[in-house]
Amino acid sequence: MSAASFYAKVPKHLVAVDCIIFGFDEGRLKLLLIQRKVAPMAGEWSLVGGFVQEAESTDEAAARVLEHTTGLNNIYMDQLRCYGDVARDAGARVISMAYYALIRINEHDRPLAQEHGAHWLELHEIPTLIFDHNRMIADALKQLRNNAQFHPIGFELLPEKFTLSQLRSLYEEIYQKTLDKRNFRKKILALDVMEKLEEKDKTSSKKGAHLYRFDAQKYEALQRKGLVFEI
């Protein structure tokens, strides 16, 4: 049997990509969502997604779909996992590859995203989404929390100079729970991957809070030894 005749008898399925884009802004972790424009479930809240074209990889499709839908580009995304439940999409048999990313919202053009109908919602504001998209978000948050144990997430989401309070707020958003101030300070400082600066942030008090910045060399050295940061 030739390859052409063999493949002709194999069932054909649609392949899609879905983008789970987390953003950190003003001390809050947010998620980028759109309202679906096509049936089925037109008008319902959805992740940013679309179909993989014949001449592109899933990575390329995810980047194209994200830019076309929201205007955001040059966003590095990691593959999360494949979702292939038979009845996951009411429109057809669709297998989806999910991607996720973390970005600083203020470094991207929010009005451009809004022009495309995309909205940043805080995690507690996320409604029931179409298909299995809520499950995708839950899986992405789980992966994000796992990553936070082995990598200082602040490298990606905080400004170059930040306070310990800002760093704690970020981890509280990721884990969706209140962290003990003293215990967090003790654990993060014990890693010795940050440089304490003479500068202070006085926006919240006259006394001010010392600013810190990550030391990339110390972090990389610690990571090679097996960094584990337990909250």
Q: Is the peptide bond before 152 cis (omega within 30 degrees of 0)?
A: no
User: Based on the domain organization, do 44 and 79 belong to the same domain?
Assistant: yes
- Per-position pLDDT tens, the chain of length 231: 677 788 888 888 999 999 999 988 888 999 999 999 889 999 999 999 999 999 999 999 999 999 998 888 889 999 999 999 999 999 999 999 999 998 888 877 665 666 778 899 999 999 999 999 999 999 999 999 988 887 777 777 888 899 999 999 999 999 999 999 999 999 889 888 899 999 988 887 777 899 999 888 887 887 777 777 777
For residue 7, what is the enclosing H or E element?
Answer: helix 3-8
User: Based on the domain organization, do 159 and 142 belong to the same domain?
Assistant: no
User: Based on the domain organization, do 75 and 103 belong to the same domain?
Assistant: yes
User: Based on the domain organization, do 141 and 159 belong to the same domain?
Assistant: no
Map residue 193 onto helix, strand or coil: coil
User: Based on the domain organization, do 32 and 76 belong to the same domain?
Assistant: yes
The two beta strands, 28-35 and 14-25, are antiparallel
Task: Determine, yes or no, domain membership for 83.
Answer: yes
The last residue of one of the domains, among 102, 130, 148, is 148
User: Based on the domain organization, do 20 and 125 belong to the same domain?
Assistant: yes
Domain that holds residue 108: 12-148
Q: Which two structure tokens, joined as six digits, stand for 208?
A: 């001010």
**What does the H/E/C string look like for 50-101?**
EECCCCCCHHHHHHHHHHHHHCCCCCCCEEEEEECCCCCCCCCCEEEEEEEE
Q: How many CB atoms lie within 10 A of CB 195?
A: 12
Burial environment of residue 74 by CB neighbours within 10 A (0 to 12, 13 to 18, 19 or more): exposed
